[in-house]
Copies of this chain bind each other. A is one copy, B any other.
Amino acid sequence: MRAVDVISKKRDRKELSPSEIEWFVAQAAKGLIEPYQVTAWLMSVYLNGMTTAETSALTRAMRDSGRALRFSLPSIPVDKHSTGGVGDKVSISLAPLVAACGAFNPMIAGRGLGHTGGTLDKLEAIPGFNVHLPLDAFTKLVGEIGCAIIGQTAEICPADKQFYSLRDVTGTVESLPLIVSSILSKKCAEGIGALVMDVKAGSGAFMKSDTDAIALATALVRTGQSMGLRVLAFVTDMNQPLGRTVGNALETAEAIDFLKGESESRYAELTYLLAAHMLVLSGVCTNHAEAHEAAEKAVRDGRALEKCRVMIEKQGGDPRVVDDSSVMAKASRVEPYLAKSDGFIGAMDTMRIGIAAMVLGAGREKASDVIDPAAGFVMRKAPGDPVRMGEPILDIHCNRIEKMETAARVLDEAITIAETPGPIPALVRKVIASE
């Protein structure tokens, strides 16, 4: 086989065979295909697309470029993947919740970049929490307590990292098959057999339109299914921050509050929904109603909170955080952000809210930026809520006082006040099941 022939075949819109894709990825991962051949191929994939069979072969090849975990457990290991948004702290409550119900959730999570937060950054707001467990310790912990959350390691899908760094500088990031294979190869390497996906759509998501989000969700489900996973995808609303906090320590505290029974927000609604489906797909529960009830019960009787405490402790974090969020960093200054007129909270440019939080230090503009775990917002109003001039819409938590002004200006652009209440998009926009 020659790289140029594989490139030319994709260039000519022909379907690549699994063995051609596997060979290309394996050779590239070993450095036996030049980066300038990889990028020509990536561009031809970007422009000509891939079939589900091709995307599936690509996912498998990327998974097999590194170490893939294997579990031997009484139920199917299950995970959740979210495409990322603002205020999305679901993973932190979800993993202990499903583990408390008897499921096994090995979760390899990511960091925040740009307007989006990352689960790892949120967990690191807990003093001592170690997201760098070796894979063997991670596997052991999942078997022992049912869940663990760590970061990407160099052993998992090295080809994905290599391809991503090339995609980033060649305009080939936004390609459905490349996005799908990147997501699923890493998830498959976790050793899971079931996966619930949360594809965000809206102003704070990577996919702004429902159409794009549905296309991604559909491709994820099709490919996941053809990889032998039990899969389900939800397209959910990201036109407002999820829950009442944005920022790392604030969100971790909110996640813990959920496990204590706080259940009024869309965040709680989504966590229960995803948890229930994970319990069904993993085979722990037989139907959705039973699963939902199991999840609620685990919260009610404190087992989910206790599981969270154990997970934190086992990963080196200060378990007192479960009882007292003040063990996490606190902002030196908290200032209300006030409504400039009477009316109703209108549509939010949620990406801008994420960017305002990033400006304060809650996120990163570039990968090397240092996070301030205390920075962020506590939302006091949501879209549709009535508001009076001078009334706080949110509280700004901030240590970098000199950034306050800039963040407030970004918020001015992000939040509108309308004379009449506008429509509020439903939380769940679409469910995509496997065929």
Interface residues of A (CB under 8 A from B): 3-5, 7-8, 11, 34-44, 46-48, 166, 168-172
Contacts and interface: CB of A to CB of B under 8 A. Distances in A.
Contact of A37 (B41, B44, B169): B169
Contact of A47 (B5, B42, B44): B44
Contact of A169 (B4, B11, B172): B4
Contact of A38 (B11, B36, B42): B36
B39 A40 contact: yes
Nearest to A12: B171
B170 A4 contact: yes
Contacts of A48: 47
A228 to B, nearest CB: 32
B171 A34 contact: no
18 contacts: A3-B169, A4-B169, A4-B170, A5-B171, A7-B43, A7-B171, A11-B43, A11-B171, A36-B36, A37-B170, A39-B39, A40-B40, A40-B42, A40-B43, A40-B171, A40-B172, A43-B43, A44-B171
Contacts of A172: 11, 40
A35 B166 CA distance: 11
A418 B42 CA distance: 49
A294 to B, nearest CB: 47
Residue from A8, A47, A48, A170 whose CB has the most chain B CB atoms within 10 Å: A170
A36 to B, nearest CB: 4
A46 B11 contact: yes
Nearest to A165: B36
B170 A36 contact: yes
B36 A171 contact: no
A344 B36 CA distance: 51
A202 to B, nearest CB: 23
Nearest to A6: B171
Nearest to A11: B171
Residue from A5, A40, A46 whose CB has the most chain B CB atoms within 10 Å: A40
Nearest to A8: B171
Contacts of A44: 43, 47, 171
Nearest to A7: B171
A42 B43 CA distance: 9
Contacts of A42: 40
A8 B175 CA distance: 12
